[in-house]
Chain A
Amino acid sequence: MSEVATPARSRIDRWIDALFAIGDDPAPNDPAARLRAFETILLLHLFVTVATGAFPSAHVGVGLQYTLSAVLGGCLALRFSARFSPMASAGALCVMLALLTYVFPQTGNHSYLELWLLVCLVFIGYAKPDEGTVLLSTVRWLAAIMLFYTGFQKLLHGTYFDAHFLAAQIMLKPAFADVFGLMIPAEELARLQAIRWNEMGAGPVHSQAPLLLLASNAVYLFELAIPFGLLWQRTRRQAVVALLVFTVAIQSGAREAFFGGLLVNVCLLFWPRDLHSRFLWVFGTYYASIGLLRIFFPEVVLR
């Protein structure tokens, strides 16, 4: 009886395997159930985002918005059909590609993340356990790289060391002033808000308030450090909890309720056990709430 020779792995394949092993779970398991729930939440997120006009209402007509919402709603419904389930993310990917092409270059970065996640779901898939393992690892790496770069870009642009950026945001955006204004004296807040940004020499746009300086530097340091905590298997739980707290704190200032939901969905993939299936109803309630808020209380600006 002749043996079938296993082809030798090239060096690059060994590196690739090592890369995915880092994003993997310590004990081998089939992540299909959690990935299925993750996909459902992502499709729900896309549907509510487009249907309520959080994206991209300002750029497309109402007719197109409702058409795309209906298609995304159809994709979400397909997700619950055993036979047509694989087509759900593929359909959503087509909608997102069309939307991004239409809206470009005004597309927000969260839309690119949604696109990358859909590409992973469609082209890697999770029908077989090995596929699910690679998909889970890939999505974890995507999230870690994204988080790292949000901090690294702040470092490169250099606007956080002495709270330049936060002071400017307080000057320009009332939502930021509501949150970060609490960290500076009242007279400093009034001075920043009175600056006219389109007048040469206006300013100074800075604050020496210790709490604001601390918050400003803590933001990028956290974003630089947290991906390592998420990828290292022994610190994943603590890192997930820390990231959840950070997300709630930051998004309360930025009022990006939709991006916040997306980030929590991705972040929970680092938890060693399946939380997505268990908390699917929480995500459902969350998206229903922010969707209704956007429709019935448009003065509460949620993005």
Chain B
Amino acid sequence: MIARGKRRFAAALLAVFTLWPLVHFSLVRAYELDAWKFGGWAMYTVVNFLPKIEVYALHEAGREELGLGSHRFPRSREAHEQLVFDTKFYGALANPESLARAAADEAGGDVAIEIAITRFFIDPRSDRVSARRRSFFYDSPH
């Protein structure tokens, strides 16, 4: 007779396998996690567009978009790529602070930073491409 422990192990495995997709759905809804990933069997359910991330330096005169393509911002460019990656997979759980710090340093140090994250989706009411934009503000470190 097979050890009862093995049967219980198999049953526990099935219980986890059954419950995880429900947790997955809640996390996707709450934090905009990538529905296609993390083993929740929600691939081919939603269109997963790449997020658009803009970085601004905030001056008294107004705000200026930082051209991260320039050679002045090597660390910011790297942090920007990382944030695009993190936002695509972890949604609202992605933390823009590293990008803000790198951008502030490379923009001269004494500057406040705004990071705007835009996520595209297809609005089910209008059937058109729509976007949700969140902005994060970081004071000047000095």
From known contacts A109-B43, A120-B13, infer whether A205 and B4 are also in contact, taking CB-CB under 8 Å.
no
Taking each of B8, B11, B36, B122, which has the highest tally of chain A beta carbons within 10 Å of its own beta carbon? B122
Question: Is B61 part of the binding interface, using a Cβ–Cβ cutoff of 8 Å?
Answer: no
Residues of A within 8 A of B4 (CB): 13
CA distance A53 to B11 in the complex (A): 34
Query: A residues within 8 A CB of B60?
Result: none
Q: Provide the bound-state CA to CA distance between A119 and B7, in Å.
A: 14
Query: Within residues 3 to 32 of chain A, which ones have a CB less than 8 A from any CB in chain B?
Result: 13, 16-17, 19-20
A165: B residues at CB distance < 8 A? 44-47
Which residues on B are within 8 Å of A, measured CB to CB?
A: 1-2, 4, 6-11, 13-14, 17-18, 21, 25, 34-47, 49, 52, 89-90, 120, 122, 124, 126-131
User: With A131-B2, A165-B46 in contact, is A20–B7 under 8 Å at CB?
Assistant: yes
Please, could you name 5 A-B residue pairs with CB atoms under 8 Å apart, sorted by A? A108-B37, A124-B9, A131-B2, A137-B10, A203-B129
Asked if A201 and B38 sit within 8 Å, CB to CB, the answer is no
Q: B-facing mask of A177-210, CB < 8 A → 1, else 0?
A: 0000000000000000001011111111110000
Q: Is the CB of A131 within 8 A of B45?
A: no
Query: Are A206 and B11 CB-contacts (below 8 A) given A130-B2, A172-B47?
Result: no
Of the four ranges (under 10, 10 to 19, 20 to 34, 35 or more), the interface on chain A belongs to 35 or more
Q: Mark A86-110, 1 if CB is under 8 A from B, else 0.
A: 0000000000000000000111110
Contact A197 B2 (CB under 8 A): no
> Whole-angstrom distance between the alpha carbons of A233 and B44 in the complex?
30
Are the C-beta atoms of A16 and B7 separated by less than 8 Å?
Answer: yes
Q: Which residues of A contact B (CB under 8 A)?
A: 13, 16-17, 19-20, 105-109, 112, 116, 119-120, 123-124, 128, 130-131, 133-135, 137-138, 141-142, 145-146, 149-150, 152-154, 156-160, 164-165, 168-169, 172, 195, 197-206, 254
- Residue among B1, B14, B41 making CB contact with A141, cutoff 8 Å: B14
Note all chain A residues with C-beta closer than 8 A to B36.
108-109
> B7 — which chain A residues lie within 8 A by C-beta?
13, 16-17, 20, 134
Given known contacts A116-B17, A157-B35, A198-B52, A203 and B128 CB-to-CB distance under 8 angstroms: yes
Q: What chain A residues lie within 8 Å of B45 (beta carbons)?
A: 153-154, 156-157, 159-160, 165
Contacting residues, chain A, for B52 (C-beta < 8 A)? 198
Closest Cβ–Cβ distance, residue B109 to chain A (whole Å): 33
Evaluate contact between A200 and B129: CB separation under 8 angstroms. yes
The residue on B at minimum CB distance from A206 is B127
In the complex, A119→B17 CA distance in Å? Answer: 12
What are the residues of chain B within 8 A of A120 when measuring CB–CB? 10, 13
Q: Tell me the bound Cα distance from A164 to B44 in angstroms.
A: 11
Q: Are B21 and A152 interface neighbours, CB within 8 A?
A: yes
With A105-B34, A149-B41 given, is the CB distance from A204 to B17 under 8 Å?
Answer: no
